Structure 1
Amino acid sequence: MRFLLLPLIALSLVACQAPASAPAQPTAPVQTPVYSYRVVGTYPHDTRAFTQGLLWLDGHLYESTGQIGQSTIRRVNLEDGEVLQSVSIPRGLFGEGLVDWGDQLISITWQDGVGYRWDRATFRRLGLWRYDGEGWGLTQNGREIIMSDGTHELRFLDPATLTERRRLAVTDNGVPVPRLNELEWVNGEILANVWQTPMIARIDPASGNVTGWIDLTALAIENGSGSDNVLNGIAYDAQRDRLFVTGKYWPRLYEIDLVAPSRGSVDSR
């Protein structure tokens, strides 16, 4: 999972419709909106957690962590960061994304092509499933499991069999956006961390277009400058409309509101 950094906010020239007798003229470059944020809550986060997946469920955070020999699935108390329940994934594997489905949790691994089903209440391992390529992030839209694999494509999986139904290419003004990592479904759109950057993409799940970027540069700087201490972890509390973000080995987890780029007001999720 090591790539050169590429520009995130892609620009494109869009041709105007011109009379047949005149050549088409390009318009000014179109820039994808960049959202800022307002911190409304700060909470402790385990600095030993190489955060891979994050979700909010039943009044708690559920988190998956990575690194061989350190990969876990855990249930965490928001207020004090205490790990209430934890299970290690099988030895020798590098844990990645996590998602809930029914009474289960589903997790994936990085380069081993194997994922696991866990009983959500007991964390008992129920079974495994296999996939081609790498596994990075997971979320769900109520009908399908959505998986990232480090490319610019998202895979949509059948929740019952976890077989692939289709793929969605993610682009910003027509330019592919690679390194899509941790995912979260928020009010009909997909939020995706872009690995080794302080940016979160807001993705239209119908078209794959990036409709906006969330710039969390200040939070990333505040929580460490190491190559591993990157932004990664998005969770959404739909009942209370709360958006949480954190990063790998970060000492803090944040609740944030989004601030629209043009009018400077809090974005309504």
Structure 2
Amino acid sequence: MRVIWAVALIALVVGCGGGAQPAAESTTSVSKGPVPTVKPVVLSEIPHDTSAWIEGLEFDGPVLYEGTGEAGKSQLRELDPKTGAVIRFAPLPNNYYGEGITVVGDKIWELTWKDGVAIEWDIATLTPLREVPVQGEGWGLCNDGERLVRTDGTDRLRFHDSVSFAETGSIVVTLNGLAIDRLNELDCVDGKVWANVWMSDKIVRIDPGTGVVDLVVDASDVSRAAGADRQKVLNGTAHIDGDEFLITGKYWPKMYRVRIDAPSS
């Protein structure tokens, strides 16, 4: 089934990070052929803090980390993956608006939305180690093992050195031949990048070498079960193992362990 998205311009009260105005898709064309769409299979449900304006979710082995947003309220957290309880947390410095997170060894990198910095944290103590300047907005972030992948609300994946956070390149992301923007919370899995599409119930799988989306995950059934609305949007994906993921959203009362039966690309 050929998937064609017509993205409406919506005046958001809150954007990825609280107030971003989504841009229409551009017409850069690089992909060919229909992109398959699958629905996640829910395996179990886990409680989730309904006060969490979630911006990032990631497993480091059995340990689950969450980054939350909103200026003056943003936190970096360690969660119990079985109960969803907050084990420990730290507020972001300087009232920064926290965004995507990713683990790099014994550190965590965290983006800020419009504050122009990325924060490097010490995992053992959950204390900030340094701040590094970043051009543009910060949305999603993941670690592919060789570099970091960042989104900024546009139609690009941006690549960064995992030590210095220097930007090393970028690529336009396309779905069915059209550039697709509002790429948000990210996961790097087996050479692919999975991205939540802000203000939608979709997750897309991207080949970072070409920028082409080769799979769309329709999570609308899970969103409805979570009681999603214009604020309670899908925005949290953490790879567990194999074809299993944990997905949730802003202010959602639950996290869902799901299986995504993805055809090979």
Normalising by structure 2, we get a TM-score of 0.86
- 1:245/1:253 contact within 8 Å kept: yes
Q: Deviations over 1:167-214 (max 9, x none)?
A: 011001221110000000112211000000000011011111000100
2:166 matches 1:163? yes
**Which residue number in structure 1 is paired with residue 21 of structure 2?**
3
- The CA distance in 2 between the partners of 1:193 and 1:94, in whole Å, is 19
- The CA distance in 2 between the partners of 1:5 and 1:156, in whole Å, is 22
Give the 3-state SS of the residue equivalent to 2:40 in structure 1.
strand
**Which residue number in structure 2 is paired with residue 84 of structure 1?**
87
- Amino acid of the residue matched to residue 254 of structure 2? R
- The CA distance in 2 between the partners of 1:172 and 1:102, in whole Å, is 33
- Amino acid of the residue matched to residue 167 of structure 2? E
Give the 3-state SS of the residue equivalent to 1:67 in structure 2.
coil
**Which residue number in structure 2 is paired with residue 195 of structure 1?**
198
2:209 matches 1:206? yes
**Which residue number in structure 2 is paired with residue 247 of structure 1?**
249
> Relative to structure 1, is the Cα distance of residues 47 and 97 closer, same or farther in structure 2, using a 3 angstrom cutoff?
same
- 2:56/2:66 contact within 8 Å kept: yes
Q: What are the within-5 Å matches in structure 2 for residues 166-181 of structure 1?
A: 166-181=169-184
- 2:139/2:152 contact within 8 Å kept: yes
Q: What are the within-5 Å matches in structure 2 for residues 134-145 of structure 1?
A: 134-145=137-148
Normalising by structure 1, we get a TM-score of 0.85
CA-based RMSD: 2.3
Which structure 2 residue ranges, 5 or more long, are not aligned?
A: 1-14
Q: How many residues align?
A: 246
- 1:68/1:91 contact within 8 Å kept: no
Give the 3-state SS of the residue equivalent to 2:221 in structure 1.
helix
> Relative to structure 1, is the Cα distance of residues 183 and 133 closer, same or farther in structure 2, using a 3 angstrom cutoff?
same
**Which residue number in structure 1 is paired with residue 123 of structure 2?**
120
**Which residue number in structure 2 is paired with residue 130 of structure 1?**
133
- 1:46/1:250 contact within 8 Å kept: yes
2:73 matches 1:55? no
- Amino acid of the residue matched to residue 107 of structure 1? E
- The CA distance in 2 between the partners of 1:199 and 1:241, in whole Å, is 17
Which structure 1 residue ranges, 5 or more long, are not aligned?
A: 15-29, 261-266
Compute the displacement of 1:121 (Å): 1.0
**Which residue number in structure 2 is paired with residue 257 of structure 1?**
259
Compute the displacement of 1:78 (Å): 1.0
Identity among equivalent pairs (%): 36
Q: Which runs of 4+ in 1 moved over 2 A?
A: 1-7, 10-14
> Relative to structure 1, is the Cα distance of residues 89 and 207 closer, same or farther in structure 2, using a 3 angstrom cutoff?
same
- The CA distance in 2 between the partners of 1:6 and 1:47, in whole Å, is 31
**Which residue number in structure 1 is paired with residue 239 of structure 2?**
236
Which is higher, the Rg of structure 1 or of structure 2?
A: 1
Compute the displacement of 1:91 (Å): 3.6
